[in-house]
Amino acid sequence: MNQSEKERFMQAALAEARKGWGRTHPQPMIGAVLVEDGDVVAAAGVERPSSSGPESRLLEELGRKPKSGASLFLTLEPGASSNRLESGLRSILDSGIKSVLIGASDPVPEHANKGADALKEGGVKVERRILIDECEDLNLIANHWLQRRVPIFAAKSATTLDGKIACRSGESKWITGEEARADVMRWRRLFPSIAVGAGTLVDDDPRLTSRIEGEEEWCGMRFVFDGLLRTAMGRYLPSIYTDDFRDNTIVVTTDAAGTGYIRRLETEGVNVWVLPAENMKVPFSVFRKRCFDVGINGVYFEGGSRLISELLHTRELDYHFNYRAPILLADDKAKSVYRGFRTERLSQAIRLDQVRHEVFGADQLMRGFVSYPARLDVDETVFSHG
């Protein structure tokens, strides 16, 4: 089997894994395919957190012993982090399979390669790192959770070529095209929660749900950052406080907020997290700890500009998605997505690592892990109030 064929079959395993997109938290997505005589004869993936490993399901559905020359492709090695070390290994060894090709190793360093090594000790030929980048990228949320034991904070922005998110008039719909916006819906479905600031909620009244053609509308946990509960002050409440998913909505505020507004939200069925704070701004570190305590392993921040800039200012943003449209406003008074920094040298710039590029129609997505410089020069006046 040549390298091209190996990658083709691993792509098939990745396709099986993606069937669990957004449904396996906090466990990783995993796919498996069995190849005999150059054809895939069985395939399986993890569909929910409590499901058995894909190796076991694949072999059960095959209903017979694999042929002597069969090869098993796995996007992730059997490991403790995926709760399938014993069952996965046993299924493979009992089946008589002698060739296993693996994409990514167990994400936890102390567990990495133990499953692969155990297979080799059992007489199985193991080949690793087949499409490893794709296999690791598939589980960027689960890997962060397993490696660091904290939820991953990711932000999304959609900008013009010159980094603007709205004209000076405030017009912003739509900067990116339909294909890019559809991809945003796909990422919304992956992350267990989505967050916006109070300003975005007031200005745009977003639904914050995932709406994918051919699928039922899906709503994860919806966070609204509102240090003073100004979103609860109007005569009419934003729709996410009154819609069918309102019990999935959590308003994150501070002890500076009025108790009357808290009661108003709770009466509507909206949850409120009151977090201790030194000022009117919700502390991201405390919010991250609260998410960890309740088992939320990822938050997808969709704005606004102030919220994302504050995440960068406090070094709390882990991952960033930037959709960029082939549009130039070339207007100093147009609204920028990032603000509040005094960057005089390139060495002081915030960068992205492990960058991936994708194209959606005329638009481009650049995404990667946020890497901070040793020093960030900040304009404190921008971040001085809540």
Quick one: 136 and 22 in the same domain? yes
Give the whole-angstrom CA distance, residue 267 versus residue 11: 49
Strand 193-197 to strand 221-225: parallel, antiparallel, or no bridges (unpaired)? parallel
Q: Which residues contact 348 (CB under 8 A, 6 or more apart)?
A: 373, 375, 376, 377
Residue 165 near residue 155 (C-beta atoms within 8 A)? no
Q: Is 90 exceeded by the pLDDT of residue 344?
A: no
Number of domains present in the structure of the chain: 2
For residue 379, tell me if it sits in a domain: no
Q: How confident is the model at residue 88, as a pLDDT?
A: 84
pLDDT (average), residues 355-365: 97
Pairing outcome for strands 335-336 and 164-166: antiparallel
d(CA 364, CA 366): 7
**Which one of 115, 141, 167 terminates a domain?**
141
| Residue in 241, 200, 240 with CA at minimum distance from that of residue 217 | 240
Is residue 172 domain-resident?
yes
Q: Can you name the residues that pair with 356 across neighbouring β-strands?
A: 367
Q: pLDDT tens for residues 218-237?
A: 999 999 999 999 999 988 89
Predicted local distance difference test score (pLDDT) of residue 53? 84
List beta partners, residue 100. 72, 126
Q: Which residues contact 10 (CB under 8 A, 6 or more apart)?
A: 73, 75, 101, 103, 130, 131, 134, 135
Whether residue 381 has pLDDT greater than 60: no
- In angstroms, the CA 86 to CA 30 distance is 16
Q: What's 263-315 look like in SS3? A: HHHHHCCCEEEEECCCCCCCCHHHHHHHHHHHCCCEEEECCCHHHHHHHHHCC
Mean pLDDT of 9-26: 96
Predicted local distance difference test score (pLDDT) of residue 295: 95
205: left (phi over 0), alpha (psi -120 to 50) or beta: left
Comparing CA positions, the residue from 27, 34, 26 lying closest to residue 56 is 34
pLDDT at 379: 64
252 and 360 fall within a common domain: yes
d(CA 324, CA 333): 19
- Where residue 87 sits, what CATH number does that domain have? 3.40.140.10
Of the chain, the percentage scoring pLDDT greater than 70 comes to 97
Q: Are residues 106 and 168 in the same domain?
A: no
pTM of the model: 0.92
pLDDT at 1: 87
Average pLDDT of 294-319? 93
**242 and 318 housed in the same domain:** yes
CA distance 309 to 88: 44
Residue at which a domain ends, from 106, 141, 176: 141
Residue ranges making up the domain that contains 43: 3-141
Q: What is the pLDDT of residue 380?
A: 63
Residues 251 and 209 in one domain: yes
Residue 176: pLDDT band with limits 50, 70, 90: very high
Whether the pLDDT of residue 99 is over 70: the answer is yes
Question: Whole-angstrom Cα distance, residue 91 to residue 83?
Answer: 14
User: Please, what is the average pLDDT of the chain?
Assistant: 92
- Based on its alpha-carbon atoms, the radius of gyration of the chain, rounded to whole angstroms, reads 23
Quick check: is 378 in a domain? no
Q: What are phi and psi of 353, to 5 degrees?
A: -115, 160
Q: Are residues 84 and 197 in the same domain?
A: no
Q: At what angle do helices 114-121 and 85-95 cross, to 10 degrees?
A: 30
C-alpha distances in Å from residue 227, one per residue of 260, 274, 346:
14, 9, 34
Burial of 381 (0-12, 13-18, 19+ CB in 10 A): exposed
pLDDT for the residue 385: 45
Please check whether residues 168 and 290 belong to one and the same domain. Answer: yes
- Percentage of the chain lying above the pLDDT 90 cut: 73
Q: Are residues 225 and 288 in the same domain?
A: yes
pLDDT at residue 386 above 70? no
pLDDT band per the 50, 70, 90 thresholds, residue 84: confident
The alpha-helical segments, DSSP class H, found in 149-283 are 178-190, 198-204, 259-267
Distances (CA, A) of 353 to 142, 243, 345, 368: 18, 38, 19, 5
- The mean per-residue pLDDT over the stretch 17-37 comes to 95
- Let me know if residue 96 belongs to a domain: yes
| Section 11-29 average pLDDT | 95
Pair (163, 217) in one structural domain: yes
Q: Is residue 386 one of the residues assigned to a domain?
A: no
380 falls within a domain: no
Q: Which of 76, 108, 141 is the last residue of a domain?
A: 141
In this predicted model, what pLDDT tens digit does every residue of 241-291 receive, in sequence order?
999 999 999 999 998 888 999 999 999 999 999 999 888 889 999 999 999
Residue 242 lies in a domain: yes
Side chain identity at residue 357, one-letter code: H
Q: In this structure, are residues 43 and 58 in contact, taking their beta carbons and an 8 Å threshold?
A: yes
Does residue 205 share a domain with residue 71? no
CATH code of residue 184: 3.40.430.10
Residues 129 and 211 both lie in one domain? no
| Residues 171 and 65 placed together within one structural domain of the fold | no
Report the C-alpha gap between 78 and 104 in whole angstroms.
Answer: 10
**92 in Cβ contact with 77 (< 8 Å):** no
